[in-house]
Structure 1
Amino acid sequence: MIDSLDVSYGDMWGSHEGPAHPNPLPNGLAARRHAAGMSYAVLLSSRERPLAVVERWPRGMWRVYLFDDALRRARMIDFKPFGTGMLLAHRNTRLIEGEEETTTVGPLSCPAPEFGDWQVFAPFLAQQGHEPAPTVVLNDVSVDEGAGPLCPTRIERLFVPGPRDTPDGPAVVELADAAPLRITSGRLAVSDPGWVGNPRTAVVPPGEYPVTLSLLRGTHGARVAAAKVTFRDSPPHAWEMLLRPDEDPALLGEGEYYGVGVDTGTVAFMDATRTVSEEELDEEVFLPLSFDDRPSVELPGTDTEPNLVAFSAGWGDGSYPVWIGRTEDGAAGCVVVDFRLHPVDQERETPGGTGPSPA
């Protein structure tokens, strides 16, 4: 009989089928995500043996996976809100060697849990032969809080020429100038130019500003490691993540960040009012950037329309951190996109030289 359960937290399993969290989360972070209505997963174990995964889904939906003796997902129970403060199982599925067999085992319901009330799911363990005791004690075994979200450490070094040690071997940082960026509205946008509906924006003074590329030249040629648009000559006093209004760093795990999403292998600096057509992008942005000797390209504007400066995104599609360097008075001094080809947060100075070595 199960009289206690060890509780740990992590990101949603997705296609991960193992009995351990692919990305563990601290208790406090999972609680903050619960309060914000975000998804996460709860692993319930007994004597180091995983028994169930509870997934919190949007719109009050929950899913419970039950493990068999071989630690495989054997059953899946989906719950939806029912009445006031209750959950009703609307699907109870037995998983058989990659196939699904939906069964009906009478009405299954339980209270909708507040964060930490995982005893409400204990009765369902009986479907895999694990009979719970009348009272089940929960033990928190989640990971420590850790260092928190990705920090803007040594961003300036992205634009210091010289040798670097990278996961792919020795390389050299070279700087290159892209076309100047013209801002007319007072708002900079950072986005994949093919998906400009919800860019990251920053308030900046109207004007024309230099754009600098940090190229990492190694055994695979030269790739854009970072890009910077500079609004003031003075060095940044402080760095911060460029956030959208609805983004909260307190909901990020260790080393995580909110970044610019890339689906076309390209990122652009542009005025927030600039629009582009699919034909323009194909002929004047994506095609030129497909050549190895064209790390950046300008899409000119008209007399009244600002231009757009696009550049290749490191190794391609993904999500990349965007940092804003602020002056002492809080104004935007520069904005940097880091493509994480040689993460400077893991570097340290090499004694007597300019090149970093791995930490």
Structure 2
Amino acid sequence: MDIADHYAMRTGSAPLESGLLGKLTVTDLGMVRIPSGQLGACDPFVNLDDPVVFRIPPGDYPVYVTVADVSEQQDGSHMREAYLSLVMSDATATRVEAAPGLDGPPPEGEFFGASVDAGTVAFVDADSVNMSMPEDPRKWYDDVFDPHDDPRSWFAIMDADEPLPAGTANLVMPRSNAGENVVLAHSGWGDGFYPVLQTKDAEGEVTAIHIDFGVVGKFEDEPNAGTAMTPAPPANSNQPSSN
């Protein structure tokens, strides 16, 4: 995987599947707290309590969404999320590769990733969910995600134009004791399987973790929504899926 074909956190233009070039913008979604060092990537409305997990140093990290204008006229009339990125360093990235799971990297040409069924992906501290969300996951939808006519519902906040752009949100979990939160964004073209990548600097240090939605890049080489991939594994298995 060539770093030149990886467009997360970039502005300017990037190749689209249509053959056109799409303008990229990057939006700061605030910090995500990862106190356990167990970074979860998931569809928060489907498997928040069972994300695919990656090990990073404990801490608070900025999250950004890279959005591509995929309209033919490049007039901003059709925008799609291209990457969700958790940034660990401001060093220049020189390499991009599949992010390793808890038991090490996947086989060559394969990826760990997030399976999406509600058009949304998120970063979260995997160990914080059980303590910070209501005790019964069966009630999360009605009590947290979409309580009737409640402007504090996660769906309502995500649909609002502020404080973050519509389609994104930074949400503190209801039973949080120390600001444990979920940072989320719509997932490009919607449902599918999305690989989790990491970038490294010239010294081999990880600079960021990215979820790639397959909206921009070299499409003959890169996975995107709709490809035949096995769904993301449970956090305790991290079995890879093939490209």
TM category, shorter: 0.5 to 0.7
Aligned partners of 1:274, 1:332: CA distance in 2, in Å?
A: 23
Aligned partners of 1:242, 1:165: CA distance in 2, in Å?
A: 23
The answer to whether the 8 Å contact 1:179/1:297 transfers is no
Q: Structure 2 vs 1, CA of residues 299 and 165 (structure 1 numbering), >3 Å: closer, same or farther?
A: same
Residue 227 of structure 1: how far off its partner (Å): 1.3
1:188 corresponds to which residue?
Answer: 39
Q: Residue type matched to 2:58 in 1?
A: P
Secondary structure at the residue paired with 1:210?
Answer: strand
Aligned partners of 1:206, 1:159: CA distance in 2, in Å?
A: 22
1:270 corresponds to which residue?
Answer: 124
Structure 2 residue 74 is matched with structure 1 residue 234: no
Q: Structure 2 vs 1, CA of residues 238 and 222 (structure 1 numbering), >3 Å: closer, same or farther?
A: same
Q: Structure 2 vs 1, CA of residues 213 and 287 (structure 1 numbering), >3 Å: closer, same or farther?
A: same
Higher relative contact order (CA 8 A, sep 6+): 2
- Bigger radius of gyration among the two: 1
Aligned partners of 1:205, 1:224: CA distance in 2, in Å?
A: 26
Residue 155 of structure 1: how far off its partner (Å): 5.5
Aligned partners of 2:169, 2:94: CA distance in 1, in Å?
A: 30
Aligned partners of 2:96, 2:14: CA distance in 1, in Å?
A: 23
1:214 corresponds to which residue?
Answer: 66
Aligned partners of 1:152, 1:200: CA distance in 2, in Å?
A: 24
Q: Structure 2 vs 1, CA of residues 238 and 191 (structure 1 numbering), >3 Å: closer, same or farther?
A: same
Which one of the candidate residues 55, 58, 64 is aligned to 1:203?
55
Q: Residue type matched to 1:295 in 2?
A: G
CA RMSD of aligned residues (A): 2.9
Residue deviations 1:241-282, cap 9 Å, x none?
Answer: 1243387425x5xxx644211111110011122324333233
Aligned partners of 1:238, 1:170: CA distance in 2, in Å?
A: 23
Aligned partners of 1:170, 1:330: CA distance in 2, in Å?
A: 31
Residue 237 of structure 1: how far off its partner (Å): 4.9
More strand by percentage: 1
1:161 corresponds to which residue?
Answer: 11
TM-score, normalising length from structure 1? Answer: 0.47
1:224 corresponds to which residue?
Answer: 81
Identity among equivalent pairs (%) = 25
Q: Residue type matched to 1:336 in 2?
A: H
Q: How does 1:1-359 map to 2 (within 5 A)?
A: 151=1, 153-154=3-4, 156-168=6-18, 169-193=20-44, 194-219=46-71, 220-244=77-101, 245=103, 248-250=106-108, 257-275=111-129, 276=133, 277-278=140-141, 279-282=143-146, 284-290=153-159, 293-301=165-173, 302-327=176-201, 331-344=205-218
TM-score, normalising length from structure 2? Answer: 0.67
Segments of 5+ residues of structure 2 without an aligned counterpart are 72-76, 134-139, 148-152, 222-243
Residue deviations 1:184-222, cap 9 Å, x none?
Answer: 112211111121344232222232221111111232522
Q: Structure 2 vs 1, CA of residues 319 and 232 (structure 1 numbering), >3 Å: closer, same or farther?
A: same
Segments of 5+ residues of structure 1 without an aligned counterpart are 1-150, 348-359
Q: Structure 2 vs 1, CA of residues 342 and 270 (structure 1 numbering), >3 Å: closer, same or farther?
A: same
Q: How many residues are aligned here?
A: 193
Q: Structure 2 vs 1, CA of residues 270 and 221 (structure 1 numbering), >3 Å: closer, same or farther?
A: same
Residue deviations 1:300-352, cap 9 Å, x none?
Answer: 143435111011000100011111223566553210111111124769xxxxx
Residue deviations 1:105-159, cap 9 Å, x none?
Answer: xxxxxxxxxxxxxxxxxxxxxxxxxxxxxxxxxxxxxxxxxxxxxx364365332
Secondary structure at the residue paired with 1:158?
Answer: coil
Q: Residue type matched to 1:173 in 2?
A: L
Aligned partners of 1:247, 1:154: CA distance in 2, in Å?
A: 22
Secondary structure at the residue paired with 1:270?
Answer: strand
Q: Structure 2 vs 1, CA of residues 271 and 232 (structure 1 numbering), >3 Å: closer, same or farther?
A: same
Residue deviations 1:45-83, cap 9 Å, x none?
Answer: xxxxxxxxxxxxxxxxxxxxxxxxxxxxxxxxxxxxxxx
The answer to whether the 8 Å contact 1:260/1:320 transfers is yes
